[in-house]
Structure 1
Amino acid sequence: MSSNQHGFMKDRSCQTNLIAFYDEVSKKLDSGDAVDIIYLDFAKAFDTVPHKQLLSKLRSIGLSEVVCTWIENWLQDRVQRVVVNGTFSTWNKVLSGVPQGSVLGPLLFNLFINDLGVGITSNVSVFADDTKLCRTVNSIQDVTSLQQDLGQLAIWAAKWQMRFNVDKCKVMHLGCKNMQAPYTLNGTALGKSIMEKDLGVLVDNKLGYSKQCQAAAARANKVLSCIKRGIDSREEGVILPLYRALVRPHLEYAIQFWSPVLKRDIIELERSL
């Protein structure tokens, strides 16, 4: 499995993905380089994996015919229909997608997109279907190379019948000397962003996390207010378990990545503790 993949992998998580990727970005910025990050979005990724192409890949990586046949039998003969106001459509065969909620589904998806980064010269980071690229862009040649990588990804997607939701794909320019170069994907210009929610964490083009601190504190305080209004008891044995289960996760999710350093951000979070 590619070292770029952090989703559904042992000893990897959203947190390891964020730390590894943005540590690389930080090093480039600390060296005085300009950096461009491309955030990519697959349209209904898990639902659009074509079964024939998936099985082709499984055979190509060396899975035995017995295992491939078992997986094929597991995927085939699935049907679906739509109900609107009590009216049923006809049954249609499901020819794509890995069953979500299954144990095998995430593994099959990871195997299907495992070669996504082959031939890409920029830094690639993947969590399941969430994909991002970064590259130093100190020259026109650097910009051209990043654009070529986007072209390679578009070719990969077309070959394997996957589709990018181009409207949700964004570019973020970092560094005071950034050229703010435009990029396209499948002939459509990518929108520019100064802040993105990456795996649930708000990241801005200064690599600052004040907005993330504010958002985490706001979510935690909202839940805390519900507890205060809905629970009459103020006994420690009642409140603490609720606080630990419902409030702290909002404050601690990926905190090792975005842990605040500014005093105002620390105070913002401490008000919810």
Structure 2
Amino acid sequence: MYLDICLDSEIECTRSKFANDSKLCGGVDTLEGRDAIQRDLDRLERWARVNFMKFNKDKCMILHICWGNSKHKYRLGGKCIENSPKKKDLRVSVDKKLNMNMQCALAAQKANCILDCIRRNVASRSNELILCLYSALVRPHLEYCVQLWGPQYKKDVDLLKRVQKQATKMI
């Protein structure tokens, strides 16, 4: 942990960590910003080499956010990092325009699949049981990280409401 704290003090860009996943974020509207990200990638590679660790470079991706982004190429240990049009992070799907339509569709699809499974496999149609199953199995998919990806468009809200209406019809 001490080595990780020392590394954090050397990183110029914003670095977020979660378990075995790290992200570098920074503004690339200037040449200095792009160079700072590349320097941080070089520091991370040196740190990993000194500590006998390896990055899975095949899993490293760049998500260029913004319309005027020059989509600069970055390297990690001599290998170019691939660009990605979208990224899934902690089960939340984000694209380069920060559009959350795909996340709403995925949440509705998962919730509908679980509702169909309940409909096919649960013989009892008591209100209490269906409500309990909905609350425990379906709702978490509709509400997972909703503070981040909350539906912004009417069509996304309607998509999620349809799932709720199907559950109401089961009751």
Task: With the length of structure 2 as denominator, give the TM-score of the two structures.
Answer: 0.91
Displacement after TM superposition at 1:140 (Å): 2.1
Return the structure number with greater helix share. Answer: 2
Match of 1:139 among 30, 33, 39: 30
1:199-210, aligned counterparts within 5 Å? Answer: 199-210=90-101
Matches within 5 A, 1:233-248: 233-248=124-139
Alignment of 1:184-199 (within 5 A): 184-199=75-90
**Which moved further from structure 2: 137-146 or 201-210?**
137-146
In structure 2, stretches of 5+ residues that fail to align are 165-171
The amino acid across from 1:229 in the alignment is R
Corresponding position of 1:267: 158
Partner secondary structure for residue 257 of structure 1: helix
Instruction: Tell me, in whole angstroms, the C-alpha distance in 2 between the residues paired with 1:116 and 1:246.
Output: 41
Q: How big is the alpha-carbon RMSD for the aligned residues of Structure 1 and Structure 2?
A: 1.4
| Aligned counterpart, 2:107 | 216
Q: Is residue 129 of structure 1 aligned with residue 24 of structure 2?
A: no
* Structure 1 gap segments, 5+ residues each: 1-56, 62-111
**Which secondary structure state, in structure 1, belongs to the residue aligned with residue 55 of structure 2?**
coil
**Alpha-carbon distance in 2 for matches of 1:246, 1:116:** 41
**Could you list the per-position Cα deviations for residues 58-101 of structure 1 after superposition, in whole angstroms to 9, with x for gaps in the alignment?**
xxx6xxxxxxxxxxxxxxxxxxxxxxxxxxxxxxxxxxxxxxxx
TM-score by length of 1: 0.58
Deviation for aligned residue 1:155: 1.1
The answer for the alignment partner of 1:68 in structure 2 is: none
Q: Does 1:225 align with 2:123?
A: no
1:131 maps to a residue whose letter is S
Superposition deviation, residue 116 in structure 1: 4.2
What per-residue deviation string (whole Å, max 9, x for no partner) do you get for residues 210-264 of structure 1?
0000001100100110000001221111111111111111111111111111001
Which of 46, 49, 53 does residue 155 from structure 1 map onto? 46
| Runs of 4+ more than 2 Å apart | 112-118
Percentage identity across paired residues of the two chains: 41
1:166 has 2:95 as partner: no
* C-alpha separation in 1, matches of 2:129 and 2:136: 12
Output the CA distance in 1 between the equivalents of 2:161 and 2:4.
41
Q: How many residues align?
A: 164
